[in-house]
Amino acid sequence: MSTIDAPERATPVVAGPPPRILLIQAPYYDGVVGGMKRGAERVLAEAGAHLETVDVAGAFELPAALRMAMEVAPGWDGYLLHGCVVKGETDHYQFICEAVCQGVMDISSETGIPLGFGLLTVESLDQAEARSADDRHNKGAEAAHALLTQIALARRWGIR
């Protein structure tokens, strides 16, 4: 783990009804993604949010599943994406990471949808486990914080 200590964050206050959140997760590394989900659940429970979860095969499928969810079931206040890509011996890691990040960014900037993006791109499973542990370094919790902040902003501006 890095010597940089993650900040402690207060759960964002979201005005209006409890947010409805869809978590789209790629549980290829089930223990890691499960840890991220537990971190997010903790934050979302503090905000009184309703969470539903769907699984996709891998990280590459996250952007397409996000687009499908937005088109088929548009009633969500925001979307949370979780996955993990561990670097291997080939270029596959770089291609997958770049494609997923670009796909999600394209959807996010095109639609303005509130989104929490929790894709771990790590050198080793040890790094992934450290970023999904039950502490303030949990990237699932950080993505949930980001999502709630975006939902609060969208509601403040009357977008959602």
Is 149 annotated among the ligand-binding residues? no
Q: Cα–chain-centroid distance for residue 12? A: 16
- Between CA 25 and CA 31 the distance in angstroms is 12
For 81, list phi and psi in degrees, rounded to 5.
Answer: -120, 130
Say if residue 84 carries a ligand binding annotation: yes
Catalytic residue status for 92: yes
Is 28 assigned to a binding site? yes
Does 61 count as an annotated binding residue? yes
Task: List the 78-86 sheet strands across, edge first.
Answer: 50-55, 20-25, 78-86, 115-122
Known binding residue 95? Answer is no
Q: Which of 6, 156, 146 minimizes the C-alpha distance to 81?
A: 146
Given the residues 50, 82, 92, 137, the one annotated as active site: 92
What are the binding residues for 5-amino-6-(D-ribitylamino)uracil? 28, 59-61, 84-86, 117
Catalytic residue positions?
A: 92
What are the binding residues for (2S)-2-hydroxy-3-oxobutyl phosphate? 89-90, 131
What are the binding residues? 28, 59-61, 84-86, 89-90, 117, 131
